Amino acid sequence: MHEKYDREEIIDLLSVHLRKIESVRNHILKEFYEEHTEERDNFESMVQEYSEYIRGIMDNKPNDTLNGVWPLVLIGSIVEVEDLDYSDIGKLKIVPPFYEDKNRKLECASCLSPVGHALLLKKIGDEVTVKTPLGNSNFKIKSIDFPLN
């Protein structure tokens, strides 16, 4: 993993990421959502909003959004979070739905799960409240790594 990025490198990585997400979206729609359902529509809407947000960052003029650190939580990011309710720190990998990690080196959160969705597109220092069936959980993003492979 790599800790410092220049703007052009971030733009290039975001561009590659968007192409990969489009491919993953097409695979998931074909494999798991052949019929038009509300769940399929929600997934497609989430991917569309996600892609538009990233394109907006890519189109922005240089500013503090791209200040040398990875700018936001993406699908594929490894996020270090502090549980503000229990003062516990852990790492999560944000993954596409139906993702299976055979190695299980990290705890995974689907981008459609309450935790994964709440963290998606957030920045270092952001605090998020996650509404789960067991109640609200509060997290603060400590770091974001984006594996380059």
What whole-number percentage of the chain has pLDDT above 90?
A: 56
At 1 the pLDDT is 41
Buried residues in 74-92 as b, exposed as e (16+ CB within 10 A): bbbbbbebbeeeeeeeeeb
Inter-residue long-range contacts of 43-49, CB under 8 Å, 24+ positions, other chains counted: 43/97, 43/112, 46/111, 46/112, 46/117, 47/21
At 66, list the tokens: 């791209």
Beta bridge partners of 73: none
What are the pLDDT digits (tens) for 109-147? Answer: 999 999 999 999 999 999 999 988 889 999 999 999 887
Residues 51, 53: Cα–Cα separation, whole Å: 5
At 71, list the tokens: 């700018």
What are the pLDDT digits (tens) for 15-25? Answer: 999 999 999 99
Q: Is 50 exceeded by the pLDDT of residue 11?
A: yes
Concatenated DSSP letters for 63-98?
A: SGGGSSS--S--TT-EEEEEETTTTEEEEEEEE-TT
| Dihedral (CA of 147, 53, 25, 114) sign | positive
Beta bridge partners of 139: 83, 128
Residues 134, 86: Cα–Cα separation, whole Å: 15
Write out the CATH class of domain 78-145.
alpha beta
pLDDT confidence band for 2 (50 / 70 / 90): very low
